């Protein structure tokens, strides 16, 4: 049975005598009751540490994480870049790995402790793992500086058996008093929502001592930024190998703005990656910038090291990003990179240099090789703007069969429509389509070097690719055809889509779901598969549990033969629309739903 790691807000009646403030749909339940004098004084998380999870390989008996003598390897953590006190950014939240030596208490078993936490943001982020053999859950309370409180539900997957697809990092060994086991240990980052605009004063942990907390922080919201371009990590694949090379990646903006920052993700990795320097420029043509590339910085430094499973945002840079234009994002890899997280189907030509740091080059001469994927780079944000719409999809959203280097994916056409109107805000459009992706099952396991770049399931990537995206306002979900083509039932797909909608709405996002397009004529699109597709679409058209429906099936189907695509829209493989069909999808979207 598939297991889940996400933490979902559950609306509870906290005190029968409390006056409850009405909240928006899916938001945490809020009480205005003041804290009683008997409540514990909040302490820093470090002062509450009562369990030791990390041991030196030579002294495994100094730690007992799970009550049976098992522990994490300090050497494995170091190899992953998770060193004591190291600041880690995961899913947009800044957390710190405990500043403790191996054999010292480094986590707290959740038992209702009151933790001092401050800040305003959209979510609490917990660095956690369970040790009970399954998912460990519990309900806690957030207290705000104005005296109100809200409840949350935290769920942590097991450190030995939880899903690799949702882990923050996996380590290759488990230490035991009897010797080291070649078995993966997992750590997770789980977020739960906060009441928007309120400042957190403290957090009461759940009561479940098999739920271990290593770190806790408020994830700052991304106000002041709009996501302009994004891509999902679809796998962790062999690359190059690249030693002392510079990548110059071509990406196409949706929204523009006067400032820019980029996001680099070391998703799925087991080791850190070093970025020597990075620049941004507007593309003239090929690897040629319109003007000299402008240096980016990371916490004031020219480069950065990204630990396994973590990410890095560049510092804000005053740079006029045009809307609907190609940027060149260049970054130098000073070490040797043999595998990296990639977005496989870029439908875009990018460039790799000869040896050396060529991020600042104003000429294209050093860029002698090309690639057609996007390694490491997952986002470009611009200053200001109204926020972003996230498109969660498969190959049709990813742009399969659209013209390379022409930006004719349906998300590109939708972004252009938004820019050329004034009836609704001109949102940024973030394309999180992954070719071959499914709603309810993983194509890639989420760990190790892979030849399959179909990604982890939409359910498993929802936190990273939707909930943690910059200023996300609405998610459009257009998936399911790969599920039914590979044997999933309509009931399974509907359950997955319903879960996505529930989790997204619990975070305050609008949810719009698109019907599945017809595909008769493609080898796997049998009559039985079409019956399941029709069943999913019947549920989608009911609008049960979401905010709007896009009837993409009706847009693309042949009226005289509804199980197949209209020939003028068909790319020729009967599954993917060509440029004309993709444009028809984008033109059919009622912008008011966004």
Q: Where are the domains of the chain?
A: 20-219, 241-377, 386-594
Alpha helix (H) residue ranges in 339-437: 395-398, 410-419
Residue 23: band (very low, low, confident or very high) from pLDDT cuts 50, 70, 90: very low
Task: Tell me the C-alpha distance between 124 and 142, whole Å.
Answer: 9
Mean per-residue pLDDT for 51-69?
A: 98
Q: How many residues are recorded in the chain?
A: 594
Q: Which pLDDT score is estimated for 31?
A: 56
With a CB cutoff of 8 Å and minimum separation 6, the contacts of 526 are none
Residue 14 has pLDDT above 60, yes or no: no
Q: Which pLDDT score is estimated for 11?
A: 30
The closest alpha carbon to 433, from 418, 411, 414, belongs to 411
Return the bridge partners of 337, or none: 242
| Token representation of residue 274 | 């070093």
Mean per-residue pLDDT for 412-429?
A: 98
The closest alpha carbon to 321, from 408, 411, 428, belongs to 428
Backbone angles phi, psi at 535, to 5 degrees: -65, -40
Q: Which pLDDT score is estimated for 24?
A: 35
| Token representation of residue 211 | 């739920």
Q: Which pLDDT score is estimated for 223?
A: 86
Residue 39: band (very low, low, confident or very high) from pLDDT cuts 50, 70, 90: low
Mean per-residue pLDDT for 281-288?
A: 98
Mean per-residue pLDDT for 243-257?
A: 98
Q: Higher pLDDT residue, 255 or 9?
A: 255
State pTM to two decimals. 0.93
What is 386-594's CATH superfamily?
A: SGNH hydrolase (3.40.50.1110)
Share of the chain above pLDDT 90, in %: 93
Q: Which pLDDT score is estimated for 248?
A: 99
Q: Which pLDDT score is estimated for 30?
A: 59
Residue 29 has pLDDT above 90, yes or no: no
Cα first-last separation, the chain = 35
Mean per-residue pLDDT for 100-111?
A: 98
Q: Across the chain, what does the average pLDDT equal? A: 94
With a CB cutoff of 8 Å and minimum separation 6, the contacts of 556 are 517, 518, 565, 566, 569, 577, 581, 584, 585
Q: Which pLDDT score is estimated for 8?
A: 33
User: Using the 8-state DSSP alphabet, how is residue 412 labeled?
Assistant: H
Residue 496 has pLDDT above 60, yes or no: yes
Mean per-residue pLDDT for 233-262?
A: 98
438-448 pLDDT, tens digit per residue, is: 999 999 999 99
Task: Tell me the C-alpha distance between 204 and 274, whole Å.
Answer: 37
Task: Tell me the C-alpha distance between 401 and 491, whole Å.
Answer: 30
The closest alpha carbon to 93, from 208, 193, 237, 224, belongs to 193
Q: Which pLDDT score is estimated for 26?
A: 45
Backbone angles phi, psi at 464, to 5 degrees: -75, -45
- Using DSSP's 3-state secondary structure scheme, residue 423 falls into coil
Contact 418, 426 (CB under 8 A): yes
Q: Higher pLDDT residue, 146 or 38?
A: 146
Query: Which DSSP string corresponds to 304-363?
Result: EEE-TT-EEEPPPEEEEEPSS-EEEEEEEEEEEEEEEEEES---S-EEEPSSS--TT-SS
- DSSP E strands: which ranges in 286-316? 288-289, 294-295, 304-306, 311-313
Mean per-residue pLDDT for 374-392?
A: 98
Task: Tell me the C-alpha distance between 111 and 205, whole Å.
Answer: 6
The closest alpha carbon to 464, from 261, 225, 116, 167, belongs to 167
Contact 367, 339 (CB under 8 A): no
Residue 412 has pLDDT above 60, yes or no: yes
Kind of pairing between the strands at 548-550 and 510-514: parallel
The closest alpha carbon to 336, from 270, 266, 243, belongs to 243
Q: Which pLDDT score is estimated for 27?
A: 58
CB atoms within 10 A of CB 102: 25
179-231 pLDDT, tens digit per residue, is: 999 999 999 999 999 998 999 999 999 999 999 999 999 999 888 999 999 99
Establish how many alpha carbons lie within 13 A of residue 526's alpha carbon, considering only the half-sphere containing its beta carbon. 7
402-411 pLDDT, tens digit per residue, is: 999 999 999 9
With a CB cutoff of 8 Å and minimum separation 6, the contacts of 202 are 42, 114, 115, 116, 117, 142, 143
The closest alpha carbon to 371, from 392, 339, 348, 401, belongs to 348
Task: Tell me the C-alpha distance between 31 and 149, whole Å.
Answer: 5
Residue 351: band (very low, low, confident or very high) from pLDDT cuts 50, 70, 90: very high
């Amino acid at each position: 049975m598939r297991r889940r790691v996400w933490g979902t807000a559950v609306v509870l009646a906290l005190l029968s005598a409390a006056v409850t403030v009405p909240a928006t749909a899916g938001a945490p339940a809020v009480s205005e009751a003041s804290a009683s004098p008997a409540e514990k004084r909040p302490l820093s998380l470090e002062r509450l540490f009562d369990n030791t999870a990390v041991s030196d390989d030579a002294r495994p008996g100094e730690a007992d994480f799970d009550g049976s003598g098992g522990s994490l390897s300090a050497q494995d953590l170091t190899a992953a870049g998770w060193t004591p006190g190291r600041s880690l950014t995961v899913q947009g939240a800044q957390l710190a790995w405990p500043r403790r030596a191996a054999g010292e208490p480094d986590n707290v078993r959740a038992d209702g402790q009151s933790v001092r936490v401050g800040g305003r943001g959209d979510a609490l982020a917990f660095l956690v793992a369970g040790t009970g053999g399954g998912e460990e859950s519990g309900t806690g309370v957030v207290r705000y500086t104005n005296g109100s409180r809200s409840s949350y539900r935290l769920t942590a997957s097991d450190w030995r058996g939880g899903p690799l697809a949702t882990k923050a990092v996996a380590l290759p060994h488990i230490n035991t008093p009897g010797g080291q086991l070649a078995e993966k240990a997992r750590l997770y980052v789980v977020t739960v929502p906060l009441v928007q605009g309120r400042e957190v004063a403290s957090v009461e942990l759940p009561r479940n001592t098999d739920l271990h907390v290593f770190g806790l922080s408020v994830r700052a919201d991304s106000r002041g930024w709009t996501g302009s371009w994004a891509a999902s990590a679809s796998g962790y694949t062999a690359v190059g190998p690249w030693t002392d090379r510079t990548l110059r990646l071509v990406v196409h903006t949706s929204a523009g703005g006067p400032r820019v920052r980029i996001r680099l993700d070391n998703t799925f990795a087991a080791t850190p990656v070093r970025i020597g320097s990075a620049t941004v420029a507007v593309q003239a043509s090929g690897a040629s910038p319109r003007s000299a590339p402008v240096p980016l910085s990371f916490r004031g430094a020219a480069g950065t090291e990204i630990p396994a499973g973590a990410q890095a945002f560049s510092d804000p840079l005053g740079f006029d990003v045009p809307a609907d234009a190609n940027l060149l994002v260049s970054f130098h890899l000073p070490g040797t990179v043999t595998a990296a997280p990639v977005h496989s189907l870029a439908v875009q030509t990018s460039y790799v240099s000869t040896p050396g740091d060529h991020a600042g080059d104003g000429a294209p001469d050093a860029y002698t090789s090309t690639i057609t994927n996007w390694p490491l780079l997952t986002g470009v944000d611009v200053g200001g703007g109204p926020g972003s719409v996230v498109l969660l999809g498969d190959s049709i959203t990813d742009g399969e069969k659209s013209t390379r280097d022409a930006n004719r994916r349906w998300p590109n056409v939708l972004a252009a429509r938004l820019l050329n109107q004034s009836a609704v805000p001109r949102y940024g459009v973030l394309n999180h389509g992954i070719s071959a992706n499914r709603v309810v099952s993983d194509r890639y396991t989420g760990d190790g070097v892979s030849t399959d770049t179909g990604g982890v399931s939409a359910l498993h990537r929802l936190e990273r690719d939707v909930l943690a995206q910059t200023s996300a306002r609405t998610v459009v979900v257009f998936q399911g055809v790969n599920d039914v083509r590979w044997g999933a039932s309509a009931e399974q797909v509907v359950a997955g889509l319903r879960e996505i909608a529930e989790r997204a709405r619990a975070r305050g996002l609008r949810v719009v779901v698109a019907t599945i397009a017809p595909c008769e004529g493609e080898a796997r699109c049998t009559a039985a598969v079409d019956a399941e597709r029709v069943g999913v679409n019947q549920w989608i058209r009911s609008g049960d549990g979401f905010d709007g429906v896009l009837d993409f099936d009706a847009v693309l189907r042949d009226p005289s033969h509804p199980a197949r695509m209209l020939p003028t829209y068909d790319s020729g493989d009967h599954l993917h629309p060509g440029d004309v069909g993709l444009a028809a999808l984008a033109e059919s979207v009622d912008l008011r739903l966004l």
